Structure 1
Amino acid sequence: ELIFVLIAVMTLGAQLGSVSTWLLGPAQFVAGFAWTVFHILIITLQAFIFMTLTIVYLSIAAEHH
């Protein structure tokens, strides 16, 4: 979540007439979008891993010896 905050403050002190605003504005949007997509992929991967581990552990616990 810290990365979202750092991306948000890229243009914190910039003024609309400044050149850095016109350069950092689109860069901020691209970086924010890329980080959001990456974040969603990681969340999905974590959910899949924990779901798989839950099924494996439940099947191990249910085995009859």
Structure 2
Amino acid sequence: MSFHFQQTSQEPVMIKESEFYRVGDLVDGKSLYDGTWWEGKIVKIVPNPNIKESLDGDDGFLYHFVDER
């Protein structure tokens, strides 16, 4: 699962269906930048434009995540 860290929640929420998560779920996410783990809330779910077909362990979505600190 990939997370995009967002500083503010000003952009509109785009709701997509995921088998695993929903907008508003609290999750632990690993930063792609430095490998640290953060707790936060999913604010948007969008299709991953880099994925042509779903693979094992990847549902084809990008999860936008706001740090809960």
Query: By percentage of residues, which structure has more strand?
Result: 2
TM-score, normalised via structure 2 length:
0.18
> Which of 1 and 2 has greater Rg?
1
Bigger fraction of residues in helix:
1
